[in-house]
Amino acid sequence: MDTIDFIFDFRSPYSYLAHSQLGTLAARVRHRPIAVLELMKQVNNTPTTVTCPAKRAYAGKDLARWAVRYGVPFGPMDMARMDGDFLLRLALAAGEVNLADDLIGVLFKAVWGRQGDASVEGAPSLLAGAGLPATELIAAANAGSTARALADATAEAAALGVFGAPTFRVGEDLYFGNDRLDFVREALASRREAA
């Protein structure tokens, strides 16, 4: 079975939507958290839903449409209470102990599906309630080495040509956006046929 990279940031609602569909792909998924705003600075990209009011208004409606299509809840947490880098560091820490799949789903649902509190204050209860070792994961997330690992992962993604989240990597090819999942499926099918 092929392995694909899922390059994401919890701050990206389209990453949440794409994550909800990973189980429909015939592939093992390697989660690659990145700090998308820092990545965008590195590659000279602009978060246009932040800078363009018309696009921001459209995106709100578009996100709701995709959530209905996928049958997933959609309602963002209070973004003023969100520490995106902390959540990304938690994902990296969980990956070190083979808990990334479980933790990332819990965090995405809390951030974008109103299923728990993903703030720094709420994280211990959220993780413990999901059966995850909250104390250990939070300690690892707060380690300087994990902050460096996040910076390195972000720089590595930029070097690969990633310019936003979510991005999928199949072999050497990149597919940007929740709406590129059909292309990801086709690429995986082509690789199986060629094997």
Domain ranges of the chain: 3-194
Identify the pLDDT of residue 51: 87
Distance CA 38, CA 187 (A): 29
Counting every residue, how long is the chain? 195
Q: What is the pLDDT of residue 166?
A: 98
CA–CA dist 180, 195 (Å, integer): 23
More confident residue, 85 or 49: 85
Q: What pTM did the predictor assign? A: 0.96
Percent of the chain with pLDDT over 90: 94
pLDDT tens figures, 137-177: 999 999 999 999 999 999 999 999 999 999 999 999 999 99
- Residue 194, pLDDT score: 86
Could you report how far apart the first and last alpha carbons of the chain are, in Å?
11
Query: What does the alpha-carbon distance between residue 30 and residue 22 come to, in Å, rounded to a whole number?
Result: 11
- Mean pLDDT in residue range 6-14: 98
Q: Which CATH architecture has domain 3-194?
A: 3-Layer(aba) Sandwich (3.40)
The predicted pLDDT at position 1 comes to 81
Supply the pLDDT for residue 30: 97
**Contact between 106 and 77 (Cβ < 8 Å):** no
Tens digits of per-residue pLDDT, 20-73? Answer: 999 999 899 999 999 999 999 999 999 888 889 999 999 999 999 999 999 999
